[in-house]
Amino acid sequence: MDGNVVETLIGAVVLVVAALFLAFAYTTSGVSSVSGYDLMAKFSSADGLGIGSDVRVSGIKVGTVVGQSLDPKTYQAVVQFSVAPQVKLPTDSSAKITSSGLLGSNYLSIEPGGSDKMLTPGGVIRYTQGSVNLLDLIGQAIFSAASKGGQTPAAPASALPASAASPAPAVPSAPAAPAKP
């Protein structure tokens, strides 16, 4: 009976430590959403950007993506996001979907414009750039490097002149050395 009580106490201590670790991780990670005013932007592609993704200005988190939908008329991705109330964005600001690194997650990067007028709640950022597909870029780089390196597809034998299409004449081999007795 004493063994069951000790095992139960150890299990309870492990659960309390795990709960404290999760609470600490949540409070220090900055995962919380930013409450503020809502804005919207339309993109040709919003790959990798999800609800809860960061909205950053100059690399600093100032907001959170709160919604995504598809415009049925233009087939563009409509992204709704919330920006902190103390951050005022000019009406000519631009937005692009950027990656945190080669394997990092995507976030919405806002580049403030130079206008004196500021976006109001519910405003739309008109200048946007969608996400870039990394695999497409790698494929383009590989194929452009191959074409610049002088490697061209081989021409079929029917397209070559007759002298080039015929096999090279056989070169006689040297006579074999006689076997020693």
- Strand ranges inside the chain, DSSP E: 37-43, 54-57, 60-70, 77-83, 94-99, 106-111, 124-125, 127-129
**Residue 109: beta bridge partners?**
56, 96
Instruction: Report the run of H or E that residue 52 belongs to, with start and end.
Output: none
> Do the domain assignments include residue 81?
yes
Please tell me the distance from the alpha carbon of residue 38 to that of residue 84, in angstroms, as a whole number.
9
Whether 45 is covered by a domain: the verdict is yes
In a domain, 2, yes or no: no
Question: Is 53 among the domain residues?
Answer: yes
Residue 167 counted as domain residue? no
Q: For residue 179, is it within any domain?
A: no
**Sign of the alpha-carbon torsion through 37, 35, 58, 106:** negative
pLDDT per residue, tens digit, the chain (181 aa), is 567 888 888 999 999 999 988 888 777 665 555 678 999 999 998 888 889 899 999 999 999 999 999 999 999 999 999 999 999 999 999 999 988 877 778 899 999 999 999 999 999 999 998 877 777 778 888 888 777 765 555 545 544 444 444 444 444 555 555 556 5
85 assigned to some structural domain: yes
How far apart CA 80 and CA 69 sit, in angstroms, is: 8
Predicted TM-score (pTM) of this structure: 0.60
Total domains in the chain come to 1
Residue 75 tokens, joined: 């087939």
Q: Which residue has the tokens 């409509």?
A: 78
Structural domain boundaries enclosing 111: 32-135
pLDDT reported for residue 33: 55
Residue 120 lies in a domain: yes
